[in-house]
Structure formats: C-alpha cells, structure tokens
A = this chain, B = another copy of it.
Amino acid sequence: MQFLSIFHEINGDLKVVEKELEKYVLTQEPELTLAAGHLLKAGGKRIRPAFALLAGKFYRYDFEKILPLAVALEIIHMASLVHDDVVDASMTRRGHPTVKAKWGNRVSLHAGDYLSAVALKLISQYQDKRVLKVLSRVTVEMCRGEIQQISASFDAEQNLRDYLYRIKRKTALLISASCELGAVVTEAPEKIVRALTRYGYHVGMAFQITDDILDMISDEKVLGKPIGGDLRQGIITLPVIYALKHSQEKEHLRELVTKQVKSEEEVQEIIRLIKDSGAIKYSFDMANIYLNKAKKELNRLPDVKTKKTFKKLTSFIGERSF
C-alpha cells in the first residue's frame, strides 16, 4: 500500500501502536469487542498515530513518550466512528436499518463512550497539561461539527463557509492536534510545535476535501465502500455546494440532492451533474490550496529526514485514490 511505504521510517513503531490498540479495543467484555472490534479488523490508515510519530521526529524522538498519545488519538477517532454506527430509526439506509444484533445500538453507544474514556485514561499519563487542553478542546469542536452536520443535512442552502466549518471540526482539528502533540510530548520548542500544528490543520482540511471528492469519483472496489454515501446520508460536501451554484441544471440538482430517499439512479444522476459542472476540478483545486499552505509550513521546520516524508505525504494526499 502506498501509504505504508511513505511511512517506512515509522512502520516498526506503527506496528507497536497496532498491538496496543488491540489491547485496548479487544477487552474482556465481549459486547465491547463486538462493537469496536470490526473497526480494528478493518484496519484503516492510522494516519493520526502516524502524524504524531512523524511530528515527534523534528526534535528528540522518543517512541515511549509518544506511544500512549498515538494510541489515544486513534482511539478517539475510532470512538467517533463507533458512534457514527449508532443507527437512528429515522436515519436508516434507503429505508432499511443496518442489520444489528439485539441491543446493538445501545452497545455501540456505550462502546464509543468506553473508547473515549480509555483514550482519556491514556492521556492522563502526561504531565504536560497541553495534551489534555488540546484534546479536550478538539473533542468539543468535533461534537460541534457532528451536530452541525446533522442540522445541515439535506440543506441545499449551505455555503462554502458552512462546509469549511464542518470539515475543520470533523477532521482537520484532530490531525492538527496529532502533529501538535507529537511535538509537544517530545518537548519540542514552541516554534516547531506551532509550525506542525498549522501543517496538520492544512493537511487535514485537504484530506477531508479529497475524501469528499473520492466519495463521488472513486472506484467502489478501491474505496472499499459504495460511492455516493454522503449523498444518501444528505451530507452536502464541497463538490455539491459548487455544483448547486454552477450546474447548468441547478434546479433539477437541488431537487435530487434534497430528496431524503434517493434511488440508485438518482444518486448516479447527481454524480453526473456534479462532474459536468466542473465541481471536481474546483474541489481538487481547493484541496491543493490547503496542501500548498501545508508545504509552506514545512519550510519553517528543521531539515530532518522526516521533512521529506511529510512532503511526500502532502503530495500523496492530493493524488490519492482511496
């Protein structure tokens, strides 16, 4: 996998992170393992731990010091995914609730809470108060982002600002915190911490924008999930916002986008209209604006080997297909 090859300087450490994750996620409680274990098996890019480890390379790298943080970051991310799994009666997919075992929803609910609490326990090991300060602030904002996403769903009136508000909270802040805190726990000087914080923020914004593009143009087999998931859930992403303004068939598009239940054909029709509007190029351009900002921050950092890794990673995000 391309991602992994970029990370080669930390691959050994990432394996230890994976082992630790297993330890915390696969518990004695079978219900918990049931609710969160599939996430572990599904793998994932572990980009948050990776960013924390890489950020730690800009000063005095100390894996032992970064490990609990790296694990906590991925667990915070997992907790939010587990809560995304909690299905609402009014939020079924195409009218069919995801098949779940009895009590499935409530277990997901508490499993997410459990993971958050475990992350907190890991964080409580750090003397440096910045770790908790940053992560508590980020988790508050993550919830704000989720809530805005709910209230803005199926709403065709939202604009670029609403979108940026949301992806900042949904994604960018935690990636930014991963970079920031990877540096903090290695006691890096403030200048390095700040540059990494901003780097992570810009990369995170670009990462979510490309994620939202891929939801429309990727290959289902490569992406590992059906295309158009956001559209079905009513999440209005950047390409949609652009297309709603610039499509030749604005009105028709608006009608389709705001439909609470969409047929497969309608989803495909929306994607076609979006592609025709030039929204994909526009969105990639937007991602690249953030990536360029990220690259600029790298210039402020000391010339260590990891800088090249970060540069490669930044380029990769602009071109990724999964």
Which residues of A are in contact with B by a Cβ distance under 8 Å? 29, 31-32, 83, 86-91, 97, 100, 102-107, 109-114, 116-118, 120-121, 123-124, 127, 129, 132-133, 135-137, 139-140, 142-144, 146-148, 150-151, 153
Contacts and interface: CB of A to CB of B under 8 A. Distances in A.
B116 A113 contact: yes
Given A83-B109, A124-B132, 10 more contacts: A86-B86, A86-B105, A90-B104, A106-B150, A111-B147, A112-B113, A114-B140, A120-B132, A124-B136, A132-B132
A137 B150 contact: no
Nearest to A140: B117
Given A105-B89, A110-B147, A140 B118 contact: yes
Contacts of A123: 132, 136
Chain A at the B interface: SS class: helix
B31 A147 contact: yes
Contacts of A83: 109-110, 113
Contacts of A113: 83, 112-113, 116, 139, 142-143, 146
A123 B142 CA distance: 18
Contacts of A120: 120, 132, 135-136, 139-140
B103 A90 contact: yes
A35 to B, nearest CB: 9
Contact of A32 (B104, B124, B147): B147
22 contacts: A29-B144, A31-B147, A88-B105, A88-B106, A89-B97, A90-B103, A90-B104, A90-B105, A107-B147, A109-B109, A110-B146, A110-B147, A110-B150, A111-B147, A113-B139, A116-B116, A116-B139, A117-B143, A120-B120, A120-B140, A121-B136, A121-B140
A103 B88 contact: yes
A89 B90 contact: no
A150 B86 contact: no
A68 to B, nearest CB: 12
Contact of A127 (B117, B121, B129, B153): B129
Nearest to A27: B144
Contact of A144 (B112, B114, B135): B114
Contacts of A124: 129, 132-133, 136
A144 B121 CA distance: 14
A121 B137 contact: yes
A31 B121 CA distance: 29
A97 B90 CA distance: 11
Given A124-B136, A150-B103, A143 B31 contact: no
A86 B114 contact: no
A29 B150 CA distance: 12
